[in-house]
Chain A
């Protein structure tokens, strides 16, 4: 029954004024009726009225009693306070705008960053009961390195583990879609039949795979994405009757996934998966536990905890290690799927959240500082209210209401800022952040912002409110001297100023460290020149190009055609290009005569390249010769190695003339030249030894050729249509994908660093601006409160310069204190940014000194400007007074 009254009161809340008016009328009628009754009994009008009043009790008292029953008194008080606060704030627009804008910047930045963090790692995954999904991988017993799962192990995990209601394996397998229009390269995934059950998502149309479709010969079925169905097949309802040609093989479409379905691998930022096909594991792979090939996910059985599952999987790994002592060299590991997807970006996001929170604290300090001054001017009014019997609680709640109104005003403007900047933020965000597509200003962000605004309002409002509410009326009302309370205001504002300086020092240092890292990173020699090179991926399907020779012919034909295109300087092809991929393999080096074979097998990079490769990438030849067109099948197998090969594989010996092979029955390859080292994945990646084989010697190591690179005379992107035309002139069914300049790929690789640096610099700039405004305000106020003192000193003969020095020396004390606190905090916090830096120590002395210098210079400049205004003021009236 209680909620009924609650509901009624809630409804009344919106008509309180009318209800009140009506109550007055009703009581009047009642009174007049009683009055009439007394008149009937023989009393005079006036007397009757008096008697009626006496009978009925005080009218206002009754009204109050009824009002207590209606609506909600605390809420009315709040509404009253809010209206009062808005009226007061509207009276001083300067202060209000300054406070709201400051808070809006702080809260808006927090809302924007939170929306990003929420989408990337807080929001549950888009599957039913996502908390039960885990990612499973393997860790080398010796190396400790993380790898995907060996299919042989997966089969045992899936069979033996009882902690999971389902487990699935999958691996990316891009496929060329041909027929009906332009050939297209599709992101495809080969999955076990259990994939659908594990994720808890079934096709919206059709059926999932049956277990026996994971067998060779039965696997010509496909489930396609809603997107592909709409884009390529126009949403044809008869899709299940259709066949598609993928990599030159005919598949039956047996299902369409629901709209909005995301494959777990979509979180890697690659193109969303459009085709699911059955995973078929060849028998030889099923016996090889060192062949790590598949991603594995599991769905925990109901009620099974992560720890239980982990313990069981560890036990299974241990028994596998006993059963297959020579081959089982990894143990299993697992973690919640969502956390695992975000594991690489978690440090970045946490540091960003921390930084943006500091900006907000700074904004709070600024507004608190403004409020302190403001509260001084209200001191007299509040003293009078105390004298008239207002309670301290009432006055304080009114003052806090005022700061909450400011905070919510700031939050509203901040949300608008966040809304504007959201898309920019996402477009700058590195693709390594999973689930970027879900970044939105939704109810979760709104809730966060509301909580943040409340917290903010209380944080910056409580100090001034507390101080003012301690006002002793007699003290304030007795004196006309404002400095009694002004002194406290100066002290607390100087304290806030120290906090502001400390916080902005911290952020400046963070930004400085990241900027320096980025500069160092951009200066790292890559060993090749990415600018001016356009690259493309041409994945020739094995079903159509069965032999290595046929692939070679395709690429040689293509290279010849492109070389004739105007604007093309040189052309190269390879199995992989730097920044876009790599291949590595084990091999043995022929020992020098009379020396024993030391290292039987070493793993280094192996790339199969055309003779133009070194020219297109402008790789420096150091010794010997490069590959040339004569290095074909039939000629002596040759290789060019990188400098690191000699250093890291041969112990510093000269590689030229040495021979290597990949196995006992493989041909010997003679090293004929040495080129400079490359960092294949950009400045962040290490130098690894490389062996460059001649692509035309297909019998040596038939690595599948798939990458084309063209060095342009002018604008490389302009050559894209020419590349497509040349490919389609040879094979009209061959898709050309991932056409990008190497420059663009390089910047994508550095995107994460650029992103964090950009944001940190932005935050630091904001912090610096806020701190400077804060310092200016504090100094200006302190000077204005000391007008009398300054005037006196000047009258006694102190020069303006001397006064200026005196003021500057004072503010320098606080600025230096703040900077010192900031520097020590930075040392303490530095371990959290270590992972985000590159070859710069998190306690890099240059950066710290520079940050402190910038800050102190800026703060002193602000103090100087504020002080100069004060000193220039006219003191002549003061002279007269003396």
Chain B
């Protein structure tokens, strides 16, 4: 999947969800998780991932702390803030609603 195919809002939602499930993660961890979950359908290059992380951080939904990576290098670990948690709940709800509507519209009539 190309990066242009991942809508910015959707990517943000997926990142928030990932951090909610796994707890603090560095950028690589987030990318790997999204790849796995999407069954390798979603390959994120850095140019897509990091600007999205910056925006989430600026909005105050996630925060970053320095820590050590698995190969013992300095890495930034992102975690959900309380406000980010609220945002995730609200966005999930909205997404479910919207996708339900879309699904109903797309379903052939009568079935």
Instruction: Provide the residues of chain A in CB contact with B38, threshold 8 Å.
Output: none
Question: Is B100 close to A, CB under 8 A?
Answer: no
A29-B26, A69-B54 known; A22 vs B59 contact (CB < 8 Å): no
A 12-46 to B, binary, CB cutoff 8 A, 1 in contact else 0: 00000000001101111110111010000000000
Q: Are A33 and B70 in contact (CB under 8 A)?
A: yes
Q: How many residues of A contact B (CB 8 A)?
A: 29
Min CB gap B70→A, angstroms = 7
Q: How far is the CA of A1 from the CA of B69 in the complex (A)?
A: 33
Q: Is the CB of A69 within 8 A of B55?
A: yes
In the complex formed, the residue of B with least CB distance to A11 is: B58
Is A57 a contact partner of B51 (Cβ separation < 8 A)? Answer: no
Q: How far is the CB of B55 from chain A (nearest CB, A)?
A: 6
Any A CB within 8 A of the CB of B111: no
Quote the shortest CB–CB distance from A325 to chain B (angstroms).
80
8 Å CB interface, B38-81 against A: 43, 45-47, 50-51, 54-55, 57-60, 69-71, 73-76
User: Do B45 and A57 touch across chains, with their CB atoms under 8 A apart?
Assistant: yes
Does B24 touch A at the CB level, under 8 Å?
no
By secondary structure, the A interface counts as helix
User: Is the beta-carbon distance between A8 and B58 smaller than 8 angstroms?
Assistant: yes
* A57-B47 in contact given A29-B73, A32-B73, A33-B69 (Cβ < 8 Å): yes
Say whether B55 contacts A62, CB under 8 Å: no
Asked if B69 and A68 sit within 8 Å, CB to CB, the answer is no
Residues of B within 8 A of A1 (CB): 59
Instruction: List, in ascending order, chain A residues with CB within 8 A of B28's CB.
Output: 29-30, 33-34
The reply to whether A70 and B50 contact each other, CB–CB distance below 8 Å, is no
Contact B55 A5 (CB under 8 A): yes
> Using a CB-CB cutoff of 8 Å, which residues 337-388 of chain A contact chain B?
none
CB-based contact B69/A27 at 8 Å: no
Those of A373-412 within 8 Å (CB) of chain B: none
Chain B residues near A602 (CB-CB < 8 A) = none
CB < 8 Å neighbour of A4 from B31, B59, B70:
B59
CB within 8 Å for A61 and B50 given contacts A29-B26, A34-B28:
no
A512 to B74, CA, bound (A): 77
Q: Are A65 and B27 in contact (CB under 8 A)?
A: no
Query: Which residues does chain A contribute within 8 Å of B50, judged by CB atoms?
Result: 23, 26-27, 62, 65-66
Question: Which residues on A sit within 8 Å (CB–CB) of B54?
Answer: 66, 69-70
Instruction: Find chain B residues with CB under 8 A from A26 CB.
Output: 26-27, 50, 75-76
Q: A27's contact among B43, B46, B59, by CB below 8 Å, is which? A: B46
A57/B55 in contact, CB under 8 A: no
Asked if A55 is at the interface of the complex by the 8 Å CB criterion, the answer is yes
Q: Does A56 contact B (CB under 8 A)?
A: yes
Write out, one digit per residue, whether chain A residues 45-79 have a CB within 8 A of any chain B CB (1) or not (0): 00000000001111101100110111000000000
Check if A68 sits within 8 Å of B58, measured CB to CB.
no
Are A59 and B58 in contact, with the CB atoms below 8 A? no
- Chain A residues contacting B76 (CB-CB under 8 Å) are 22, 26
Would A5 and B59 count as touching, CB distance under 8 A? Answer: yes
| Distance of A208 Cα from B86 Cα, bound (Å) | 59
Out of A22, A25, A30, which one reaches B46, CB within 8 Å?
Answer: A30
Within 8 A of B (CB), among A825-844: none
Select from chain A the residue with minimum beta-carbon distance to B60: A4
Distance of B61 from chain A, by nearest CB (Å): 10
Instruction: Give Cα distance in the complex from A65 to B43, angstroms.
Output: 18
A473 → B minimal CB distance (Å) = 34
Residue of A4, A5, A30 with most chain B CB atoms under a 10 A cut-off: A30
Are A61 and B47 within 8 A (Cβ)?
Answer: yes
Residues of A within 8 A of B47 (CB): 57-58, 61-62, 65
Contacts of B51 in A (CB 8 A): 65-66, 68-69
Instruction: Select one of A9, A55, A58 contacting B58, CB under 8 A.
Output: A9
Q: How far is the CA of A30 from the CA of B69 in the complex (A)?
A: 9
- Residues A28 and B59 in contact, CB atoms below 8 Å apart: no
Chain A residues, Cβ within 8 Å of B73:
28-29, 32-33
Counting chain A CB atoms within 10 Å of each CB, the highest count among B28, B31, B73 belongs to B28
Please give me the residue from chain B that is nearest to A26 by CB atom. B76
What 0/1 pattern do residues 67 to 104 of B give for CB contact below 8 A with A? 00111011110000000000000000000000000000
CA distance in complex: A33, B26 (Å): 10
Measured CA separation A524–B87 after assembly (Å)? 86
A56 to B47 Cα, complex, angstroms: 8
The answer to whether B71 and A36 touch across the interface, beta carbons within 8 angstroms, is yes
Contacts of A61 in B (CB 8 A): 47
Closest Cβ of chain B to A507, distance in Å, is 55
Q: Smallest CB-CB separation from A22: which chain B residue?
A: B76
Residue in A closest to B45 when the chains form the complex, CB atoms: A57
Which residues on the B side are within 8 Å of A36 (C-beta)?
A: 70-71
Q: In chain A, residues 592-621, which have Cβ atoms closer than 8 Å to a Cβ of chain B?
A: none
Question: Nearest-CB distance from A157 to chain B (Å)?
Answer: 63
Nearest-CB residue, chain A, relative to B70: A33
* A28→B70 CA distance, assembly (Å): 14
Most chain A CB neighbours (cut-off 10 Å) among B54, B70, B75, B76: B54
CA A69 – CA B28 in complex, angstroms?
A: 20
Considering only CB atoms, which chain B residue lies closest to A8 in the complex? B58
A residues near B59, Cβ cutoff 8 Å: 1, 4-5, 8
Cα–Cα, bound, A25→B54 (Å): 15
Q: Which residues of B contact A23 (CB under 8 A)?
A: 50
Distance (whole angstroms) from the CB of B103 to the closest CB of chain A: 29
Q: Given the known A-B contacts A29-B75, A68-B51, are A55 and B43 also in contact in the complex, defined by CB atoms under 8 Å?
A: yes
With A62-B47, A62-B50 already in contact, the answer to whether A29 and B58 are too (CB < 8 A) is no
13 additional contacts (CB under 8 A) given A27-B50, A57-B46 = A8-B57, A23-B50, A25-B74, A26-B27, A29-B74, A33-B26, A33-B71, A33-B75, A55-B43, A57-B47, A62-B50, A65-B47, A69-B58
15 of the cross-chain contacts (CB-CB < 8 Å) are: A4-B60, A27-B50, A30-B26, A30-B31, A30-B46, A33-B28, A33-B70, A33-B73, A34-B28, A36-B70, A36-B71, A56-B45, A57-B45, A61-B47, A69-B55
Residues of B within 8 A of A (CB): 26-28, 31, 43, 45-47, 50-51, 54-55, 57-60, 69-71, 73-76
Contacts from A to B (Cβ < 8 Å): 1, 4-5, 8-9, 22-23, 25-30, 32-34, 36, 55-59, 61-62, 65-66, 68-70
